[in-house]
């Protein structure tokens, strides 16, 4: 035998001397590692996340092509992709930009108001007693109930859409900020008192970072609500935007346009949520929280 070692499997285990005439099952060079730990061959997470939608799209394609489903009710995914390509040539970007801008402006306004009011009610008991019951009552109002009032007050231009989106974003962010600040560990606040921090320093150096996990969860939920309220706003009165495309698709009985728009909304919503998630991971790297190894 050459300078190569060999692993023999059989009676006596891997290190037993070979029986006469036995063939080595695995040849190894001197540099080879014998006992490598078993490693899971896993697909990248983003690819795993695509498996379910891809399977559903493939099933839909098959169902339509085999005649199980009527194409006028559920166009095949290939046709939806063609529609998206066709829409792209007819100003789809303008619609996407209009909706995204509305979400950005409405979400920013709603989130800022929520952060200010949430912080005020969490930091001052009188403010909590005055504002919180009303905020909780307003939170229970369904989004569509605001629409007639906003149309009456603000007309059918941009303002009512932005206000509706801001309302949608406001409540989750308010809840996140208020609950987050009120939930900061009292013991850490005691340390801040021991170091004679002023109220403003305590808020900036202890309460804000301590409440950050809850605030970011509120912002993430608020952003999701902003996309939903944007569609509600644009469905009612808009000349551009993804809500308008949905409305247009329904009026012209173009299920492919409706589905293409829904697909775009899903992609945009997921993209913005991923950005928020990345921000959350970056800002909360200090957290000593449960993270399953399979989830990392």
Partner 1 sequence: MLDIRIDSKSYGDQKVLGPLHLQLKQGEVVSLLGASGSGKSTLLSIVAGLDRDWRGSLQLDGAPLQGVHPAISLVFQEPRLFPWLTVAENLRFGLPSADDCGCEVDLLLEETGLHGLGQRLPKQLSGGQAQRAAIARGLMRRPRVLLLDEPFSAVDAFTRMKLQDLLLRIAAHHQLTILQVTHDIDEALYLSDRILVLPAGGGPLSGEFSVPAARPRSRSDAGLLPLKHQILDLLHLAEQTA
For partner 1, the binding residues (CB under 8 A) are 187-188, 190-197, 205-206, 209-210, 212, 285-288
Output the smallest distance, CB 290 to partner 1, in A. Answer: 12
Of 188 and 235, the one with the shorter C-beta distance to partner 1 is 188
Give all strands (DSSP E) within the chain, no chain letters.
5-7, 26-28
Of 147 and 216, the one with the shorter C-beta distance to partner 1 is 216
Output the smallest distance, CB 157 to partner 1, in A. Answer: 43
Q: Which 3 state secondary structure label does DSSP give 7?
A: strand
Q: Which 3 state secondary structure label does DSSP give 125?
A: helix
Output the smallest distance, CB 212 to partner 1, in A. Answer: 8
In this structure, the number of other CB atoms found within 10 A of the CB of residue 75 comes to 24
Q: Which 3 state secondary structure label does DSSP give 26?
A: strand
Output the smallest distance, CB 204 to partner 1, in A. Answer: 12
Output the smallest distance, CB 211 to partner 1, in A. Answer: 11
Of 24 and 209, the one with the shorter C-beta distance to partner 1 is 209
Of 87 and 212, the one with the shorter C-beta distance to partner 1 is 212
Query: Which distant-in-sequence residues (6+ apart) come within 8 Å of 240 by Cβ?
Result: 94, 95, 98
Question: In angstroms, what CA-CA distances link 210 with 91, 119, 179, 187?
Answer: 45, 13, 11, 12
Output the smallest distance, CB 188 to partner 1, in A. Answer: 6
DSSP for residue 205: I
Of 7 and 188, the one with the shorter C-beta distance to partner 1 is 188
Strand (E) or helix (H) holding 177: helix 158-182
Closest CA to 296 of 41, 44, 36, 37: 44
Strand (E) or helix (H) holding 123: helix 92-123
Of 154 and 208, the one with the shorter C-beta distance to partner 1 is 208
């Amino acid at each position: 035998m050459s300078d190569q070692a060999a692993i023999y499997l059989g009676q006596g285990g891997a290190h037993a001397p070979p029986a006469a005439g036995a063939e080595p099952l695995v040849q190894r060079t001197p540099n080879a590692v014998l006992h490598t730990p078993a490693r899971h061959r896993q697909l990248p997470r983003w690819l795993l996340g695509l498996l379910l939608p891809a399977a559903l799209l493939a099933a839909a394609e098959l169902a339509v092509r085999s005649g199980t489903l009527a194409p006028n009710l559920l166009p095949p995914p290939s046709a939806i992709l063609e529609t998206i390509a066709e829409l792209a040539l007819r100003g789809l970007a303008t619609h996407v930009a209009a909706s995204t801008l509305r979400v950005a402006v409405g979400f920013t306004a709603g989130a800022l108001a929520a952060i200010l009011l949430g912080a005020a009610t969490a930091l001052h008991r009188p403010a909590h007693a005055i504002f919180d019951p009303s905020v909780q009552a307003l939170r229970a109002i369904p989004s569509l109930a605001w629409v007639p009032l906003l149309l009456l007050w603000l007309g059918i231009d941009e303002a009512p859409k932005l206000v509706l989106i801001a309302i949608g974003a406001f409540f989750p962010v308010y809840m996140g900020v208020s609950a987050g600040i009120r939930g900061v560990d009292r013991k850490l606040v005691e340390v801040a008192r021991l170091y004679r921090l002023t109220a403003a320093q305590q808020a900036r150096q202890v309460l804000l970072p301590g409440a950050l996990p809850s605030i970011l969860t509120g912002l993430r939920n608020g952003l999701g609500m902003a996309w939903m309220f944007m569609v509600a706003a644009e469905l009612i009165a808009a000349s551009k935007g993804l809500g308008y495309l949905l409305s247009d698709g329904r009026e012209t009985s173009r299920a492919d346009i409706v589905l293409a728009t829904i697909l775009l909304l899903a992609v945009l919503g997921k993209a913005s949520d991923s950005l928020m998630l990345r921000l959350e991971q970056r800002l909360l790297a200090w957290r000593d929280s449960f993270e399953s190894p399979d989830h990392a």
